[in-house]
Amino acid sequence: MTSSRHPLLHHHSHHSHHPSSSRNGTKQILLIATFCFALLIVVGTQCYAAMGRTDLLTQNPHSAAFVTKDDYISDSVVEYRKEGSDEGQPQNSPEEPGLDYNGTPLHVVFSTSCSEQMHWESYTFFYHAFKVRQPGTVTRIASGCTDKEAEFALQFHRESIQTMSDRFRLHLTPDFSKQRLTDKSNYKYMNKPFGLRSWLENVLQMNSTDSRRPRGVEDGVVILMDPDMVLLRPLVHDFSKEDVIWVEDNPATTMVKHGFPMAQQDGYLGNQWMYINGTFITGDPTITKPKDKFGPLYWNTGPPYLATVKDMYDISVLWTDYAPRVDHINPGLFAEMQGFIWATYKLNLPHTLIKSIVVSTTKAHHREGWAYIDNLPDSEVCVPSPAMKLPIGLHYCKRYGLGPDFFFSKYRLKKNYLNCEKNLLQPPPKDIHTKYDYFISPPPPHGKPPKELEKKSFTQKQAKREGFMLCGLIHAVNEAATYYKKHNCDDKIANFNKVYTIRNDPGKY
């Protein structure tokens, strides 16, 4: 009797019933495409410091497999049904096409590695895309998998993800983390531009001029997201009827079209990208920086990024050229994002920016969609009713905590959290944000008691935001894991007990 059909998910489990499935290789954690929005650099540094603690994949790039057979949806035209017959219960609806409400092909993509953490993050991403009935295709781009990891990722995808929707895809690519000008060490974020380009060329055939490319492909829309995002409602390319907070009073467009990309306004990169050598980045001796005031209006972008396939391909070609150049003269964690901005600037593709596609940093002042959360009545913070105005998604690149017991960090959730026999997370009390105005960090994962646990006080406003994120994220991953267990685990073994907190069980497995 096995407790799961997915051997990898059992790799580090002490309770594995599947000893023969043990995989070699310690799991290295490659965190691709993880960006936080923070007003203060110090806040951003905290996020990246957490990333820096992780190891990098060092796999032979030639061992990775390409999945090229990922047919583009162009001929299945079925009207997208926004209202389902079942009340909020997701169901497999293979007939739903990769089109949005207007008939535009939509392609949601996100870039990952093959590490265990990326498996539960990806599963959670796909589950919520399924639950909210995200239109279009949703593709995980997984870079740098070993042969065995690729085999597992394909199996996991086929058995546990594609069974939710056949619009859910996996694209495997080689490791691009060494795509640097001279530095020979890994820069994991390079997988994002190169992975995107690989997908655009191999799946959408964007570098092919002949008839191999289905007609109209370039008129579709790409929505580039991150794996650590949870959709609360569908993200589409037409915001004219959406509740969003625009950066400008009169945005140039409310819909993505050729020449009019859109994005989340970045919270903390600010105008720094303007002050590096644009001639070196672009090779254009005449290029000048824009006026400072235009940075936050048109250029200072962060994920999600939305552009037509044609524009996104043009961006990806320059982005893969510029990101290594930015990295060369301005190495650091923002090089890949600054490369994206320089590509859009060189192409003269100003973005229409939205503050409220996602929320991530509870300390933001005038950034992100926090105004919505600040306005929630106390009774609606933990589990907001559908009538409440909310951002479109959550971006959990930070850590969230409130009171002595509740804490959420993607780095601290058990790597094998999806395993059938693992406990689910304990949900916070619904009034958690009025109960506590402080946070105590959980003990470290290695079991040794720390000298002193960090304690932080919160303003009432921040406590409310922490409560919103904690409740939202704990429910989001619990719901995904519950669905996973119902569909992939033996009834006798599937564990639905909601008792796990990172405080009471701090181990990584």
Instruction: Provide the binding-site residues for ligand NAG, judged by CB under 6 A.
Output: 201-202, 207-208, 277, 279-280
Residue 142's nearest CA partner among 133, 151, 134 is 151
Per-position DSSP letters for 372-432, written without gaps between them: HHHTS-GGGSSS--TTS---SEEE--S-EEEBTTEEE-TTTS-TTTTSTTSPEEPPPPTTH
**Closest approach of ligand NAG to the CB of residue 331, in Å:** 16
Place of tokens 């940075």: 295
What three-state secondary structure class fits 174?
coil
**Closest approach of ligand NAG to the CB of residue 114, in Å:** 20
**Closest approach of ligand NAG to the CB of residue 205, in Å:** 8
Q: Which of residues 276 and 388 has its CB atom nearest to ligand NAG in the complex?
A: 276
What three-state secondary structure class fits 76?
coil
* SS3 letters across 330-343: CCCCCHHHHHHHHH
**Closest approach of ligand NAG to the CB of residue 274, in Å:** 13
Contacts of 23 (CB under 8 A, 6+ apart): 7, 8, 11, 148, 152
Q: Which of residues 202 and 344 has its CB atom nearest to ligand NAG in the complex?
A: 202
In terms of C-beta density within 10 A (0-12 exposed, 13-18 middle, 19 or more buried), how is residue 288 classed? exposed
**Closest approach of ligand NAG to the CB of residue 71, in Å:** 17
Q: Which of residues 246 and 280 has its CB atom nearest to ligand NAG in the complex?
A: 280
Q: Which of residues 320 and 416 has its CB atom nearest to ligand NAG in the complex?
A: 320
Sign of CA dihedral 40, 41, 44, 45: negative
CB 180 within 8 A of CB 328: yes
Interatomic CA distance for residues 480 and 120, integer angstroms: 9
Helix (H) or strand (E) holding 352, with range, is strand 352-354
Interatomic CA distance for residues 125 and 226, integer angstroms: 9
Q: Which of residues 285 and 449 has its CB atom nearest to ligand NAG in the complex?
A: 285
What letter would DSSP give residue 360? -
Q: Which of residues 202 and 419 has its CB atom nearest to ligand NAG in the complex?
A: 202
Q: Which of residues 325 and 410 has its CB atom nearest to ligand NAG in the complex?
A: 325
**Closest approach of ligand NAG to the CB of residue 289, in Å:** 12
Q: Which of residues 156 and 176 has its CB atom nearest to ligand NAG in the complex?
A: 176
Q: Which of residues 277 and 457 has its CB atom nearest to ligand NAG in the complex?
A: 277
Give 77-86 contacts, CB < 8 A, sequence gap 24+.
77/103, 80/135, 82/133, 84/133
**Closest approach of ligand NAG to the CB of residue 208, in Å:** 5
What three-state secondary structure class fits 275?
helix
Q: Which of residues 313 and 400 has its CB atom nearest to ligand NAG in the complex?
A: 313
**Closest approach of ligand NAG to the CB of residue 436, in Å:** 51
**Closest approach of ligand NAG to the CB of residue 283, in Å:** 8
**Closest approach of ligand NAG to the CB of residue 210, in Å:** 8
Residue 29's nearest CA partner among 110, 120, 108 is 120
